[in-house]
Amino acid sequence: MTEATRVLVLNSGSSSVKYQLLDMPGGTRLATGLVERIGERSARLVHTPSGGERRERGGPFPDHRAALRAAAEELAADGTGFDSPALAAVGHRVVHGGDRFTGPVRVDDRVIAEIEALVPLAPLHNPGNLEGIRTAGALSPGVPQVAVFDTAFHTTMPEYAWRYAIDVRTADEHRVRRYGAHGTSHAYVSRRTAELLGRAPEDVNVIVLHLGNGCSAAAVAGGRCVDTSMGMTPLEGLVMGTRSGDIDPAVVLHLARNAGMSVDAIDALLNRRSGLLGLCGDNDMREVTRRAGDGDEAARLALDVYAHRLRKYVGAYTAVLGRVDAVAFTAGVGENSAPVRAAALAGLGGLGLVVDPDLNTAPGRGPRFISPQYASVAVAVVPTDEELEIAGQAYDLVST
Ligand code: ADP
10-residue averages of pLDDT along the chain (400 residues): 87 93 96 94 95 92 92 92 91 94 96 95 90 92 95 98 98 97 97 98 98 97 98 96 98 97 97 97 97 98 98 98 98 98 97 97 95 96 98 95
Triad 362, 355, 196: Cα angle to 5°: 75
In this structure, the residue with its CA closest to atom 22 of ligand 1 is: 336
Helix (H, G, I), strand (E, B) or coil at 2: coil
| Radius of gyration of the chain measured on its C-alpha atoms | 22
For the stretch 149-181, pLDDT in tens is 999 999 999 999 999 999 999 999 999 999 999
Please tell me the distance between residue 5's alpha carbon and the centre of ligand 1 in angstroms. Answer: 32
Please tell me the distance between residue 214's alpha carbon and the centre of ligand 1 in angstroms. Answer: 9
Q: Is 99 in the pocket of ligand 1 (CB under 6 A)?
A: no
Please tell me the distance between residue 337's alpha carbon and the centre of ligand 1 in angstroms. Answer: 9
Strands (E), 222-362: 224-228, 326-330
CB 393 within 8 A of CB 146: yes
Quick one: pLDDT at residue 2? Answer: 63
Please tell me the distance between residue 280's alpha carbon and the centre of ligand 1 in angstroms. Answer: 17
The angle, 0 to 180 degrees and rounded to 10, between the axes of the packed helices 338-345 and 285-293 is 80
Backbone angles phi, psi at 11, to 5 degrees: -120, 95
Interatomic CA distance for residues 81 and 69, integer angstroms: 10
DSSP H or E stretch at residue 300: helix 297-321
Interatomic CA distance for residues 109 and 265, integer angstroms: 37
User: Running DSSP on this structure, what letter comes out for residue 247?
Assistant: -
Q: Is 214 in the pocket of ligand 1 (CB under 6 A)?
A: yes
Nearest to 316 by CA among 211, 209, 242, 214: 209
In this structure, the residue with its CA closest to atom 27 of ligand 1 is: 333
CB neighbours of residue 108 within 10 Å: 10
Q: Is 126 in the pocket of ligand 1 (CB under 6 A)?
A: no
Pocket test for ligand 1, best of 337, 360, 381 (most atoms within 8 A of CB): 337
CB 135 within 8 A of CB 64: yes
What pTM was estimated for this model as a whole?
0.96
Active site residues per annotation: 150
* Nearest atom within ligand 1 for CA of residue 285: 16
Which domains are delineated in the chain?
Answer: 6-149 (3.30.420.40), 199-386 (3.30.420.40)
Amino acid at 263: V
In this structure, the residue with its CA closest to atom 7 of ligand 1 is: 332
The angle, 0 to 180 degrees and rounded to 10, between the axes of the packed helices 297-321 and 338-345 is 60
Please tell me the distance between residue 295's alpha carbon and the centre of ligand 1 in angstroms. Answer: 22
Q: Is 48 in the pocket of ligand 1 (CB under 6 A)?
A: no
* Nearest atom within ligand 1 for CA of residue 210: 6
